[in-house]
Amino acid sequence: MEENIRSILNQFHSKKKIGSDTQKSDAFSNNEASSSEIPDVFFDLVIHQFKINRSEIALLMYLYRQIWCRPNLYKSHGIGPLNSYAQMALQLHFTQDELAQNLSSLQNFGFIETVRSGQYFVRKYFTEELDLNYGQDYD
């Protein structure tokens, strides 16, 4: 019985060995977890009221974090940096068609607006009505 356990355990690699051998991606190069501040209204109201799917949530959070949670010159205007469609699709694990479809869906809900190709306006509280309720304006 003890020999069976050893043979099974020998099949698994040490975590230290694996961690030192593999290269970390640029997005996760530091050992600290990142965090972002997302308004509670997103979880309490927006997800339920608009029935957005997982892909749309991922894209919306990607754009929201670019504008509201990271250093951004146009933060006061709610406008993000210029994005490459190919790079966004790669980072979000979407095809370019899926990315285009999700961008269109988020625009139809009114969560984002295209400033120019690859650059988006994202509301701080996701909808115009919620922005008004929470006193959010854009310079």
User: For all residues of the chain together, what is the average pLDDT?
Assistant: 86
C-beta atoms surrounding 125 within 10 Å: 18
Dihedral, CA of residue 103, residue 104, residue 109 and residue 115, to nearest 10: 70
Asked if residue 63 lies in contact with residue 111, where contact means CB atoms within 8 angstroms, the answer is no
Dihedral, CA of residue 40, residue 26, residue 83 and residue 91, to nearest 10: -70
- Region for 93 from its dihedrals, namely left if φ exceeds 0, alpha if ψ lies in -120 to 50, beta otherwise: left
What's the rounded Cα separation, in Å, for the pair 65 and 129?
21
Boundaries of every domain in the chain = 40-133
What's the rounded Cα separation, in Å, for the pair 104 and 6?
55
- Name the band, by pLDDT with cuts 50, 70 and 90, for residue 11: confident
- CATH fold for domain 40-133: Arc Repressor Mutant, subunit A (1.10.10)
In tens, the pLDDT along 68-102 reads 999 999 999 999 999 999 999 999 999 999 999 99
135 pLDDT higher than 60: yes
31 pLDDT higher than 60: yes
